Chains A and B, each alone.
Chain A
Amino acid sequence: MVELTINKIKVKAEEGMTILDAAKSVGIHIPTLCHMKDLFPSGACRICSVEVDGQRNLIPACAYPVYENMNVETNSPRVRRARKTIVELLVENHPQDCLICVRNGNCELQKLSEKYGLREHRYAGKKKDHAVDISSASMERDPAKCILCGRCVRVCNEIQKVGAIDFTNRGFASTVTTPFNKGLSISDCILCGQCILVCPTAALREKSHMKEVASALENKKKYVVAQIAPAVRATLGEEYNMPLGVDVTGKLVTGLRRLGFKKVFDTNFAADLTIWEEANELVKRIQEKKTLPMFTSCCPGWVKYIEQNYGDLIDHVSSCKSPHEMLGAVAKSYYAKKMGINPEELFVTSIMPCTVKKYESERPELSEHEQLIPDVDSVLTTRELVRFFNLAGIDFDDLDDEEFDSALGESTGAAAIFGTSGGVMEAALRMAYYKLTGKHLDILEFEPVRGFDGLKEASVQINDLTLNIAVVNGIGNVDPVLDEIRAGKSKYHFIEVMACPGGCINGGGQPIHQKPEKIVKRMKALYDIDKSMTKRRSYENESVQTLYKEFLVEPGSHKSHELLHTEYFNRSKKYEH
Chain B
Amino acid sequence: MKTFIELCCSECWHTNENPCNSFIRCCTEGPLCHHNPECEEKLKKLNRQLRFEEHDLPIIWIGMGTCGLAAGAKKVEEAIKAELEKLNIQAVIKPTGCIGFCAKEVIVDVKLPDGERVSYCEITPKLVGKLIQKTIIEKDVFTEKLLGAHGEKSNSIPHINDNAFFKHQLKIVLENCGIIDPDSIDAYIAYGGFKAFDKVLRLMSPIEVIKEILDAGLRGRGGGGFPTGKKWELAHAQKADQKYIICNADEGDPGAFMDRSVLESDPFKLVEGMLIGGYAIGASVGYIYCRAEYPLAIEKLQSAIKQCEKYGILGDNILGSDFSFHLKIKKGAGAFVCGEETALMASIEGKRGMPRPRPPFPSVSGLWNKPSVVNNVETFANVATIIRKGSAWFSSIGTKASKGTKVFALSGKIINTGLVEVPMGVTLGEIVFEIGGGIPDNKKFKAVQIGGPSGGCLPNEVMDTLVDYDSLRQVGAMMGSGGFVVMDEGTCMVDVAKYFLQFIQNESCGKCVPCREGTKRMLEIIERIPQSYRSTKNKLDELQRFKGIIYLQRLAQVIKDTSLCGLGQSAPNPILSGLHYFKHEYEEHLYERKCRAGVCKDLLTFEIDNNICSGCGVCVKKCATDAIVGEKGKAHYILQDKCIRCGMCFEACRSCAITVN
Question: Quick one: given A57-B561, A81-B554, A86-B558, are A63 and B352 in contact (CB under 8 Å)?
Answer: no
CA–CA, A65 to B518, complex, Å? 27
CA–CA, A90 to B514, complex, Å? 9
A488 at the interface (CB under 8 A from B): no
- Asked whether A174 lies within 8 Å of B510 as measured between CB atoms, the reply is yes
Residues of chain B with a CB closer than 8 A to A371's CB? none
B356 at the interface (CB under 8 A from A): yes
B330 at the interface (CB under 8 A from A): no
A167 at the interface (CB under 8 A from B): yes
Q: Range of interface residues on chain B?
A: 35 or more
A161 to chain B, nearest CB (A): 15
Q: Which of B337, B512, B517 contacts A92 (CB 8 A)?
A: B517
Residues of chain A with a CB closer than 8 A to B352's CB? 166-167
- Asked whether B560 lies within 8 Å of A57 as measured between CB atoms, the reply is yes
Could you tell me which residues of chain B, from 617 to 636, have a CB within 8 Å of some CB in chain A? Answer: none
B37 at the interface (CB under 8 A from A): no
- Asked whether B524 lies within 8 Å of A46 as measured between CB atoms, the reply is no
- Asked whether B562 lies within 8 Å of A58 as measured between CB atoms, the reply is yes
CA–CA, A65 to B360, complex, Å? 9
A-B contacts counted at CB < 8 A amount to 118
B550 to chain A, nearest CB (A): 9
Produce 1/0 per residue, B503-521, CB < 8 A to A.
0111111111110111111
Q: Which residue of A lies closest to B509 (CB)?
A: A170
- Asked whether A174 lies within 8 Å of B520 as measured between CB atoms, the reply is no
B652 at the interface (CB under 8 A from A): no
Of the listed residues A78, A93, A122, A123, the one surrounded by the most CB atoms of chain B closer than 10 A to its CB is A123
Pick out which of these stretches binds chain B: A37-45, A340-348, A373-381, A387-395.
A37-45
- Asked whether B520 lies within 8 Å of A172 as measured between CB atoms, the reply is yes
- Asked whether B512 lies within 8 Å of A43 as measured between CB atoms, the reply is yes
CA–CA, A90 to B509, complex, Å? 16
Could you tell me which residues of chain B, from 480 to 504, have a CB within 8 Å of some CB in chain A? Answer: 504
CA–CA, A461 to B57, complex, Å? 92
Residues of chain B with a CB closer than 8 A to A170's CB? 335, 337, 506-510
A4 at the interface (CB under 8 A from B): no
Q: Which of A43, A123, A148, A171 contacts B521 (CB 8 A)?
A: A123
CA–CA, A89 to B520, complex, Å? 10
- Asked whether A171 lies within 8 Å of B516 as measured between CB atoms, the reply is yes
Residues of chain B with a CB closer than 8 A to A41's CB? 356-357
CA–CA, A58 to B505, complex, Å? 22
Q: Which residue of A lies closest to B562 (CB)?
A: A46
Q: Which of B504, B511, B551 contacts A44 (CB 8 A)?
A: B511
Main secondary structure of the interface of A (DSSP, over half): loop
Question: Quick one: given A57-B569, A58-B562, are A90 and B517 in contact (CB under 8 Å)?
Answer: yes
Question: Quick one: given A46-B563, A125-B520, are A172 and B513 in contact (CB under 8 Å)?
Answer: no
A349 at the interface (CB under 8 A from B): no
Residues of chain A with a CB closer than 8 A to B561's CB? 49, 57-58, 78, 82
Q: Which residue of B lies closest to A43 (CB)?
A: B357
- Asked whether B510 lies within 8 Å of A171 as measured between CB atoms, the reply is yes
Residues of chain A with a CB closer than 8 A to B516's CB? 148, 171-172, 174
Could you tell me which residues of chain A, from 121 to 138, have a CB within 8 Å of some CB in chain B? Answer: 122-126
CA–CA, A44 to B356, complex, Å? 8
CA–CA, A46 to B516, complex, Å? 12
Residues of chain A with a CB closer than 8 A to B359's CB? 64-65
Q: Which residue of B lies closest to A147 (CB)?
A: B513
- Asked whether A90 lies within 8 Å of B510 as measured between CB atoms, the reply is no
Could you tell me which residues of chain B, from 499 to 556, have a CB within 8 Å of some CB in chain A? Answer: 504-514, 516-521, 524, 544, 547, 551, 554-555
- Asked whether B357 lies within 8 Å of A171 as measured between CB atoms, the reply is no
Of the listed residues A40, A41, A85, the one surrounded by the most CB atoms of chain B closer than 10 A to its CB is A85
CA–CA, A393 to B337, complex, Å? 53
Of the listed residues B335, B516, B544, B554, the one surrounded by the most CB atoms of chain A closer than 10 A to its CB is B516
A507 at the interface (CB under 8 A from B): no
B354 at the interface (CB under 8 A from A): yes
- Asked whether A44 lies within 8 Å of B518 as measured between CB atoms, the reply is no
A15 to chain B, nearest CB (A): 13
Residues of chain B with a CB closer than 8 A to A125's CB? 520-521, 524
Residues of chain B with a CB closer than 8 A to A45's CB? 512-513
A60 at the interface (CB under 8 A from B): yes
Residues of chain A with a CB closer than 8 A to B510's CB? 148, 167, 169-174
Question: Quick one: given A43-B356, A57-B561, A123-B555, are A93 and B508 in contact (CB under 8 Å)?
Answer: no
Of the listed residues A40, A89, A92, A126, the one surrounded by the most CB atoms of chain B closer than 10 A to its CB is A89
CA–CA, A554 to B35, complex, Å? 99
Residues of chain A with a CB closer than 8 A to B564's CB? 43-44, 46, 60
Of the listed residues A81, A171, A173, the one surrounded by the most CB atoms of chain B closer than 10 A to its CB is A171
- Asked whether B513 lies within 8 Å of A46 as measured between CB atoms, the reply is yes
B72 to chain A, nearest CB (A): 35
Of the listed residues B357, B514, B544, B563, the one surrounded by the most CB atoms of chain A closer than 10 A to its CB is B357
CA–CA, A41 to B510, complex, Å? 16
Q: Which of A63, A86, A122, A171 contacts B508 (CB 8 A)?
A: A171
Residues of chain B with a CB closer than 8 A to A122's CB? 547, 551
Residues of chain A with a CB closer than 8 A to B506's CB? 170-171
18 other contacts beyond A57-B562, A148-B510, A170-B335, with CB at 8 A cut-off? A40-B356, A43-B511, A43-B564, A44-B564, A46-B564, A49-B562, A58-B561, A82-B558, A82-B562, A85-B518, A86-B513, A123-B555, A125-B521, A125-B524, A170-B509, A171-B504, A171-B508, A174-B509
| Sample of 30 A–B contacts (CB below 8 Å) | A41-B356, A41-B357, A44-B512, A46-B512, A46-B563, A49-B562, A57-B562, A78-B561, A85-B514, A85-B558, A86-B513, A89-B517, A89-B518, A122-B547, A123-B517, A123-B521, A123-B555, A125-B524, A148-B510, A150-B511, A167-B352, A170-B337, A170-B510, A171-B506, A171-B507, A171-B508, A171-B519, A172-B516, A174-B511, A174-B516
**A-B complex: 6 closest residue pairs judged by Cβ atoms:** A174-B510, A43-B357, A89-B517, A63-B357, A171-B508, A125-B524
Q: Which A positions have Cβ atoms within 8 angstroms of B?
A: 40-47, 49, 57-58, 60, 63-65, 78, 81-82, 85-86, 89-90, 92-93, 122-126, 147-148, 150, 166-167, 169-174
